[in-house]
Structure 1
Amino acid sequence: MQQAFLQTPLGTAIIEGDENGVSRISITDGDGNATENHDKTPYVLAEAVNQLKAYFDGKLNTFSFKLNPEGTDFQKRVWDALLKIPYGKTTSYQELSVQLGDVKAIRAVASANGKNPLWIVVPCHRVIGSDGSLTGYAGGLWRKKWLLEHETPPVQQSLF
């Protein structure tokens, strides 16, 4: 397993993976080993680092690098459903449960969402409460709020 680091507005992103794909992305508060020197980025993680940088620069809204998260079959089903939430849109835990075929699975869906090892790329931040409230986010609600605002910038109103 190799690691790469990227300084972001949310903290240091730690990207982990190998030739089979990226298995984990997490964010820490410190600057850790963050470097913009991509010469030190392992080759197998270079595309993930480049795409994440472009995302934070506002130049990318769909990721295409290979993913390889570890989880149960149910967790992977939930994470696959998260990948279908469009950029700039949100859904609720209840809507996600219905989409997965079991309206009563809200807690299980929320638990799988909380165990998502691929922050930002598998957009668990796009899941909100049925009432529109920001609910639970492993990285803290301030990060969830930042990501949602980043993906839905205010629309410039016409001056005329």
Structure 2
Amino acid sequence: MNCSCGSELQLVRIEEGDDGQSFIRYSCPGCALEFGIEATCDEASPFFNGPVWTDEAQHYLDRMPPYLKPLVCKEVEDYAGSKNIRLLSTGLITEAKNQGTVSWHPEAETRLSRVPGPVRAMARVELERTALDRGLPEVTVALMEELKARYFGMAGKGS
């Protein structure tokens, strides 16, 4: 990608946010322009030709034992390729390990069963999507309460 001054833009950092968004920072060596793009991994994928790891995901990989890192990289890159995702995050590492699924804590499943039918399917999708975005292997009551507070402004014990 080129800047309006004609220089090729340099990728500086890719930071992950807690909300599943990534912040991609670019700079231009020619005119010193700096800018960033905030997007989900899916939305940001078209900006990259091949797989690119976020800074947090790269740090996670760098802390792995040397014999394990290439196996995890291949598993995640293969999974991301099947989903046409080129920006690889820590959440995608867990999603690849779980092959795109999350489990449900029994208490969370019970609570979901008490949600009115027309809303239940949407709630399930949003809870699973949020868990996957955060790299969580399971939907828990705590996650349910957090999302309920965020979307409806109502969270409390036993609700």
Answer yes or no: same fold by TM over 0.5: no
Considering Cα pairs closer than 8 Å and 6+ residues apart, tell me whether 1 or 2 has the greater RCO: 1
Give the TM-score, by structure 1 length: 0.27
Higher Cα Rg: structure 1 or 2? 2
Please state which structure has a larger fraction of its residues in helix.
2
